[in-house]
Amino acid sequence: MESEKQKGAPLPTIRRLPSYLRVLRRMQEQGREFISSTQMAEELKLEAIQIRKDLAVTGVEGKCRVGYQVPDLIDAIESFLGWDNLTDAFLVGAGSLGTALIGYQGFEHRGLNIVAAFDTDPYKIGRVIHGKDVFPLDKLPDLARRMHIHMAVITTPAAAAQAVADLLVSADIRAIWNFAPTKIHVPESVVVQNEDLSAGLAVLSVRLAEVLNRSESLEQEA
């Protein structure tokens, strides 16, 4: 049933849920008990109707006049995302991005627990980064089986990513969060989420050019 419910949720809705959670947690810290979709809309610069539609996927409904009960809604979103349970994950590629992600405190509030790191570099193997051991990459399949790990984060250079993905698939990893700047190919039974920083940078570059051109032409007109 859980999976049916989630299957029905559109991707943009899933992507927006963490931002609702962020607002709700801040409200909870401030001791607020209720919040309306209109207040959340103002905070997040979204439409209230959109927010109500998104939140409906969690099964919680707002009450007339008072809105949503903050702690209930937090629980419902966390449970929908599976963030009420920590998912253990391995990280492959203990370079600077890998180190940053291992040290990032925020993941544990978002259901992700990086339990160990892997690398092929003899200078990195055996080190401890933010309390997590760095193991040789070829130990990964054995450890994944023994520790029942199904999620992995790739933070290797682009050139190494596909070979790492193949190894992860062979180790029965079912979900891959890929930060390497390249596409990886995996069987359909494995879920991949690509975090492509260069896509975001492309948008920013094009928009900055627009903004700067616009102010230049305004100056010329003036």
For 81, phi and psi rounded to 5 degrees? Answer: -80, -10
Q: Which of 35, 134, 151, 164 binds a second copy (CB under 8 A)?
A: 151
Residue 175 interacts with a second copy (CB under 8 A): yes or no: yes
Residue 45 interacts with a second copy (CB under 8 A): yes or no: yes
For 141, phi and psi rounded to 5 degrees? Answer: -60, -45
Residue 104 interacts with a second copy (CB under 8 A): yes or no: yes
**Least separation in angstroms between CB 102 and a second copy:** 8
Residue 90 interacts with a second copy (CB under 8 A): yes or no: no
**Least separation in angstroms between CB 163 and a second copy:** 16
**Tokens describing residue 161:** 């990513």
Compute the half-sphere exposure of residue 198: CA atoms within 13 Å on the CB side of its CA.
Answer: 6
CB of 157 within 8 A of CB of 173?
no
Residue 92 interacts with a second copy (CB under 8 A): yes or no: no
Residue 49 interacts with a second copy (CB under 8 A): yes or no: no
Determine the 3-state secondary structure of 222 from DSSP: coil
Measured distance CA(74)–CA(20) in Å, rounded: 9
Contacts of residue 92, defined as CB under 8 A and 6 or more positions apart, other chains included, come to 98, 117, 118, 119, 137, 140, 152, 153, 154, 155, 156, 164, 168
**Tokens describing residue 41:** 């809309």
Encoded one letter per residue, x for contact with a second copy by CB under 8 A and - for no contact, window 109-148 reads -xxx------------------------------------
Residue 44 interacts with a second copy (CB under 8 A): yes or no: yes
Residue 56 interacts with a second copy (CB under 8 A): yes or no: no
Pick the closer one to a second copy by CB: 66 or 73. 73
Contacts of residue 24, defined as CB under 8 A and 6 or more positions apart, other chains included, come to 35, 70, 73, 74, 77
Pick the closer one to a second copy by CB: 57 or 116. 57
Of 16-24, 119-127, 135-143, 162-170: span binding a second copy (CB under 8 A): 16-24
Measured distance CA(8)–CA(132) in Å, rounded: 37
Residues that bind a second copy (CB under 8 A): 2-3, 6-7, 9, 11, 14-19, 22, 43-45, 80-83, 87, 96-97, 99-100, 103-104, 106-107, 110-112, 150-151, 158, 174-175, 177, 181-183, 185, 189-191, 193, 195-215
